Amino acid sequence: MAGHLAGKVALVTGGGRGIGRAVGKTLAAAGACVFVCARTQSEIDAAAKEIADAGGRATAMPMDLADEASVRAAFAAVGSRAGRLDVLVNNAGIGLYGPVKDFPVGQLDRLTAVNLRGTFLCCQEAMRLMAPQKSGYIINISSVVGIKGYPKQAGYTATKHAVMGLTKSLAVEAQEHGVRVSVILPGGVDTAMVREARPDLAPAILLQPEDIAQAVMYLLSLSDRAAVDEIYIRRRASQPF
């Protein structure tokens, strides 16, 4: 789909590695100017260079989702430099695990600050850029745990359920502004987070980050007449995760 997104501006959180990096590369290959965002400067620099080396356009933009000022500054910079925002992919997130009876409340606060509050802030800032232009697409990356539960993942699961609620409400609210909102729920993907959460799963049977990037591109390929609320994409195995 080379050129499909020519002239469009995209921002990808968690863009330095894993799913975010694959999404950024795919959007750039389709012609978008991509702002690659994450906390680790070296990772987003490498991701932006990889896109540039392949002939695409990318800017490394540091952002800490747990820091409101950092989020707002990043979006302000996008508005100043590009003058618009057409695509936001809210991919960044963290995973902290353990049984409920022993799970530190501080870790729950950290999960909430990044996975829910950070995603909310990004949606808010994106809407402030997209609503005046009467167009745009916000794609939130949740997880299979947004609709299922697994032992020792209650805190993480709670935040991903919350992302589902945020997405559903925003999708309705954004309609009048010409902005579409969808959520993708991946099953097991070969990333560092999944390897930590499920060390019992062999990498060979997991989805690849590029599979999720393809789902993002599917959403962006739809006509303005169509809206997709959610995509649950899982690995081909006997169990959904």
Rounded CA-CA distance 58/28 in Å is 7
Question: What's the Cα-to-Cα distance from 211 to each of 208, 234, 238, rounded to whole Å?
Answer: 5, 10, 19
Distances (CA, A) of 60 to 49, 77, 123: 9, 11, 20
Distance from C-alpha of 185 to C-alpha of 181, rounded to nearest angstrom: 14
By the 8 A CB rule, do 124 and 176 touch? no
d(CA 29, CA 23) in angstroms, rounded, equals: 10
Indicate if 156 belongs to the active site.
Answer: yes
CB atoms within 10 A of CB 211: 17
The active-site residue, picked from 97, 137, 150, 156, is 156
Pairwise CA distance, residues 184 & 174, whole Å: 18
Supply the residues annotated as catalytic.
156
